[in-house]
Amino acid sequence: MAEKKHVKSVTIPVSTFENVMKQFDQAAVRLHVDPSLMEFLKYPARSTIVKLPVRMDDGTYKMFTGYRVQHSIVRGPAKGGIRFHPDVDLDEVQALAAWMTWKCAVVNIPFGGGKGGIACDPSSMSKDELERLTRRYTAALFDMFGPDSDIPAPDVNTNEQTMAWFMDTYSMHARHTVTSVITGKPLVMGGSLGRKEATGAGVVITTREALRHLNIDPAKATASVQGFGNVGSISAMFLQKLSVKVTHVSDVFGGLHNPDGIDIMALMEYVKEHKKIVGFPGAEAYDRNEILYADVDILVPAALENQITEENAGDIKAKIIAEGANGPVTPEADAILQKNGVFVIPDILCNAGGVTVSYFEWVQNRLGYFWTEEDVNVRLERIMTDAFAAILKVALENDVHMRLAAFMVAIQRVADVVQLRGIYA
């Protein structure tokens, strides 16, 4: 009999922001918080759309649409990345900003939630065009950004270079160098040691804690990683260092499989040269659309949102899902996974290592004093393990899954601050 092929399909468009609202509502009903306060917490405080004229290399001008959303600044400045992707829209950015609010609260760092993006195809643009686009975006939204108001970072298709352009543009308008307006910068510009690895490190710290909770020996565990960008590749690397056998990986071009385990360090070197995993000699080709359904202990979805839906959640074989990406599992899929006994480490906990070390970078910039990589890693380890333990405790005490517990903790922490500060009206 031919092997069953799975096709990820959604019969109606999935609103990522609606998914966040559903997650919020599920947690809110379990908390004894004034419903009117919940409405205040639920929706973005500020959403801005800008049109960006950018001169292309051929001398023509092209209009791009940029977004910046500040979901909450109750606990501190808005914090969240800037992504460059053709599918960026207000719905997505509002959802990502909301997740950042809850993510920062879960790891208990003094930030609110923000997110930004530009609808563009960076693969079809030159470096000079991307620089002009970044600078135009920064200038257009200059009044929103600042070390005490809104601090961006890299995200999908943006990197240290993008952040360097952003910081320079902001500093030129401010008339002095402002390193703390951005995180994820190059080290020579005030970046933090350990920042590049932080998200993947956090994924694996929480995965290690989940394995411990479930009494699974890492040396006997297998893993599949969807997405081999910064988060996916670093997660795979740290899983391998944890003695987990990474048997499946994928990127946008294809997939790989080696039942004996893929040499992740060798694959990372291959990708540096070839820009994709396809053709790597240390594994067999594998259908990237099947990567979610591999028969493994750990699945790390580290690509984009809405990858696991009610239509395909029943086909997941992994015992643990470690959400390296934001929003890879829809609320409807959550219910199916819970019924099937899958232990989901929610994104607002699992991938919070990145924003945690971004916080460290911001602190170091404000102090003008920089920590060693060992200092960074020790502090990250403590925050992530403490956060996992706190969420697991709430989950067990309330007999709920980890995502619901994470939202309950996060919402309560933000609500407590709002109640103390009051609402200025």
The amino acid at residue 190 is G
Pairing of strands 112-119, 298-301: unpaired
393 catalytically annotated: no
Q: Where are the alpha helices (DSSP H) in 156-311?
A: 160-174, 195-213, 230-241, 264-274
Q: Whole-angstrom Cα distance, residue 183 to residue 75?
A: 18
Contacts of 400 (CB under 8 A, 6+ apart): 30, 394, 408
Ordered DSSP codes for 158-203: --HHHHHHHHHHHHHHHTS--GGG-SS--GGGT--TTHHHHHHHHH
Determine the distance from the C-alpha atom of residue 307 to the mean position of all C-alpha atoms in its chain, rounded to a whole number.
Answer: 14
- Which of 165, 298, 173 has its CA nearest to residue 240? 298
Cα(first)–Cα(last) distance of the chain, in Å? 66
CA angle 28, 29, 33 (to 5 degrees): 65
Element (H, E) at 131: helix 127-140
Contacts of 72 (CB under 8 A, 6+ apart): 41, 45, 78, 101, 112, 113, 414
105 three-class SS: helix
CB 238 within 8 A of CB 253: no
CA distance readout (Å), 317 to 238, 336, 345, 401: 22, 12, 15, 18
Q: Whole-angstrom Cα distance, residue 212 to residue 288?
A: 29
Q: Which two tokens stand for residue 282?
A: 């240390």
Active-site entry in 79, 103, 115, 319:
115
Q: Which two tokens stand for residue 396?
A: 């067990």
The set of catalytic residues is 115
